[in-house]
Every structure is written in C-alpha cells, then in structure tokens.
C-alpha cells in the first residue's frame, strides 16, 4: 500500500455560531452547539499536530470565528506551529482593537464575505443587518496593511449585480475577489430551488468577469469558482479525497471535506479520540475515497480521473444516494440527467432571459 500524501491545508471551523443566516451556507443542517466546541487548549493541540503533519495554511472559519473570545490565542497557536492563518469572516464583530490583537498574534490575511453591492439586498440575503459592518471591516483590514480578500457566493439573487459587486470590492481595496458560484451542500442544498441561476444569468456573469479581467490586467485577482451544475464537467473537489486538505469541525470531528458530515456511514473520527496523524493515515473515513481504487465506471477507466478524481463524493451522495457513484455533474455520469433536469426545470425555461422571482429562503439557523 502506498503511503498517504501529506496535507498542506486545514479548514478550522472554530464555531457554527454566526450572526448571519445566509441561505447558501454549506454548513450542515445540524449545526454543532456552542457547548460542544473544542476548548482553546484543544484547538492549540490540533494546530500543533497539524503543523507536524505538514499543514502550512489554515482558514480560521465557521460560522463566524470572531464569536470565539479566544481567537487570538488560536492564531498564536497556529503561528507557533508554523501555519499561515487567514481569517474567514462576515466582518460583524471586528473593530480596530480586535484586529490589532489578532495581527499582533500573527494573523496574516482576512477574507470578508459580501452578499451584494446594494446594502439592503446584502442584508436581506444575509438575514441580518451587516453590510455597514462589512464596509467598516474592509477599511480596518486595509488600514492594518493586511491582504484583503472578498468572497461573494453567487446565485440567482445577485448574479445580475456582478458588475457592481466587483466595483465595490475594488473600492474597498480588495487584493482578491472570489466569485464563488453556489456549491449545493448543507443549507445551500436545502435552498437550491431559490438559488439556482439561469444559464443566461451565468453567461452574462462570465462576460462581466472577462471584461473586468481585461480591464484590470491582473492587478486584482478575480477568481471564478465554476457552477458545476451547468458546465457538464465535474470539479476536482478538495484536490482529491484525503489528498491535500482536512477539515476540523467545531466539536473536533475530522472530515475530508466540510460537507462530508452528510455521508451517513462515514463514521468520521474525532481529535478527542485519536491523533491527527492516525486520522489522516489510517482512519476509514480518510482512506475510503482516497486514490482511484474505489472508482467505478465510467471514472475507473476515464482519462480525466487523475485530474478531477471523479468529482465530488458529497454531491454524488446528495443526488444519487451513493457516494461512490460518478458525480452527476459530469456529462459522462449515468446520473447526469438528474442535473440536467434541475438546470432546465428551475421555474424558468433554460435560456430564459429573466430569472424567476427570488427569496423564499430557509435561512440558516440552529435546529435545522
Ligand atoms: Fe471525471 Fe469520472 Fe467524469 Fe471521467 S467519468 S470526467 S473521471 S467524473
Ligand atoms: Fe465533500 Fe466534494 S464536498 S467531496
């Protein structure tokens, strides 16, 4: 048996608590209660072990990681372990003093979520009045001299405002703007009917991104996360299962990807029971879909299998009930018809120029 590759990235979900209620959230419907979260000392030990395992980069994420009063101590622990830290935040709860403490502890960069360029629309999508806090947070991050990334999850409700969204990100001084078409897991899967865009919206958005890339000439990084429901191509999810990255949930459950908690028979291990190295190298949860042994046709003999790893296991499970099947996003999948039906039957005919009315969200909240 070949040795497992070493991971370099850790998604640390410090808490599922969040002041926002975004309907596109990829957190599980069953959010971890705050009383079950890892302690400061437990996170410090996770980060120490992660550094020994080879991790060099962590996203401190959630929910909203600023809800953790010990965030600076967690940043210090990552810094001591030689791990670069990026804070992934809504900006709510960030003030100058807090940012100064985090920067002194070793925080290296900030990624700020933005829902829309229009304050009222942004607050409506977030389910919380938060736009002004985001604008303040962006200014604070720039004043502190930290790299600023803006992350915008794109869907039916904001794709047509992409031009204004990019302009707003540039006004705020972003070094990088991630335009992330919604990936349908957790709350996003629950809200899929309200979030799925039309093909025309996506075509217009692609044109907008290209225009801005031409205009900016690479001065600001515009990242387009593909809408895999529409492209007929499976995404190389997580860079492969158990290949480069691991996720630690707020209660210490360790997962090969943030959505894997949805797989019913995975039995994911916990840092409260096992060292991270054992979990990575030997747990069933991490070895189940590692490499190519588990693949069935058409992936097993497909020339793209080393490039996309058969797509996404969580999406295969969500759409077919079997995580070992080819991701239905792939046009070669025998289940691709499931995706085709969804992308041509979302309340408007494929190619229609006007999206269906928006809203009617099941907002993310504790209790599913
Ligand atoms: Fe990728 Fe499998 Fe589709 Fe081939 S058949 S392109 S390996 S998902
Ligand atoms: Fe879990 Fe893609 S989100 S494998």
**Whole-number average pLDDT of the chain:** 94
Query: How high is the pLDDT of residue 358?
Result: 57
Q: Which of 304, 329, 331 to mutate to test the pocket of ligand 1 (most atoms within 8 A of CB)?
A: 304
pLDDT at 1: 52
* Residue pair 223/177 in contact by the 8 Å Cβ criterion: yes
DSSP state of 183: P
C-alpha distances out from residue 202 to 231, 266, 338, 341, Å: 10, 35, 20, 17
Among the atoms of ligand 2, which is closest to the Cα of residue 183?
3
The per-residue pLDDT for range 23-57, each reduced to its tens digit, is 999 999 999 999 999 999 999 999 999 999 999 99
Q: What is the reported pLDDT for 368?
A: 62
Q: Which atom of ligand 1 is nearest to the CA of 331?
A: 3
254: left (phi over 0), alpha (psi -120 to 50) or beta: beta
Distance in angstroms (rounded) separating the CA atoms of residues 10 and 325: 26
Residue 350 pLDDT greater than 80, yes or no: no
Tell me what pLDDT residue 80 has.
98
> Percent of the chain having pLDDT more than 70?
95
Q: What is the mean pLDDT of residues 349-355?
A: 44
- Please choose, from the candidates 292, 162, 279, the residue with its C-alpha nearest in 3D space to the C-alpha of residue 224: 162
pLDDT, tens digit (0-9, with 9 covering 90-100), for 312-328: 999 999 999 999 999 99
Candidates 233, 332, 335, 339: which one to mutate for ligand 1, based on the most atoms within 8 Å of Cβ?
332
pLDDT digits (tens, 9 = 90+) for 213-269: 999 998 999 999 999 999 899 999 999 999 999 999 999 999 999 999 999 999 999
Contacts of 233 (CB under 8 A, 6+ apart): 226, 308, 329, 330, 331
Nearest to 113 by CA among 308, 364, 366, 368: 364
What average pLDDT does the segment 90-119 reach? 98
Longest dimension (CA), the chain: 56
Pairing of strands 221-225, 176-181: parallel
Cα 243 to Cα 245: distance, rounded to the nearest angstrom: 6
Of ligand 2's atoms, which has the minimum distance to the CA of residue 313?
4
Q: With cut-offs at 50, 70 and 90, classify the pLDDT of residue 120.
A: very high
Ligand 1 midpoint to CA 233 (Å):
8
Closest by Cα among 313, 269, 251, 268 to 31: 251
The finding on whether 271 has its CB within 6 A of some atom of ligand 2 is no
């Amino acid at each position: 048996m070949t040795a497992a590759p070493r991971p370099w990235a850790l998604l640390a979900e410090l808490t599922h608590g969040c002041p926002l209620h975004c309907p596109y959230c990829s957190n599980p419907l069953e959010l971890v209660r705050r009383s079950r979260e890892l302690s400061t000392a437990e996170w410090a030990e996770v980060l120490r072990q992660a550094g020994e395992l080879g991790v060099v980069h962590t996203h401190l994420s959630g929910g909203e990681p600023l809800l953790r009063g010990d965030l600076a101590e967690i940043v210090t622990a990552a810094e001591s372990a030689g791990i670069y830290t990026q804070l992934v935040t809504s900006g709510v709860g960030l003030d100058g003093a807090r940012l100064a403490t985090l920067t002194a502890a070793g925080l290296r960069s900030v990624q700020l979520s933005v829902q829309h360029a229009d304050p009222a629309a942004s607050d409506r999508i977030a389910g919380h009045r938060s736009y002004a806090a985001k604008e303040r947070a962006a200014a604070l991050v720039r004043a502190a001299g930290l790299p600023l990334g803006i992350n915008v999850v794109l869907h039916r409700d904001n794709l047509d405002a992409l031009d204004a969204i990019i302009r707003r990100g540039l006004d705020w001084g972003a070094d990088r703007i991630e335009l992330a078409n919604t990936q349908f897991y957790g709350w996003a899967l629950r809200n899929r009917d309200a979030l799925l865009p039309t093909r025309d919206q996506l075509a217009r958005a692609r044109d907008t991104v290209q225009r801005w890339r031409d205009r900016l000439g690479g001065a600001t990084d515009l990242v387009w996360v593909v809408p895999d429901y529409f492209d007929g191509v499976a995404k190389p999810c997580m860079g492969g299962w158990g290949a480069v990255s691991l996720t630690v949930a707020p209660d210490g459950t360790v997962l090969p990807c943030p959505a894997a908690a949805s797989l019913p028979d995975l039995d994911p291990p916990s840092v409260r029971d096992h060292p991270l190295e054992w979990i990575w190298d030997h747990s069933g949860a991490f070895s189940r879909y590692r490499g190519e042994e588990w693949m069935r046709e058409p992936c097993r003999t497909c020339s793209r299998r080393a490039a996309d790893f058969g797509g996404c296991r969580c999406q295969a499970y969500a759409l077919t009930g079997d995580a070992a099947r080819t991701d239905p996003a792939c046009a070669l999948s025998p289940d691709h018809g499931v995706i085709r039906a969804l992308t041509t039957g979302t309340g408007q005919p494929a190619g229609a120029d006007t999206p269906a009315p928006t809203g009617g969200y099941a907002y993310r909240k504790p209790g599913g």
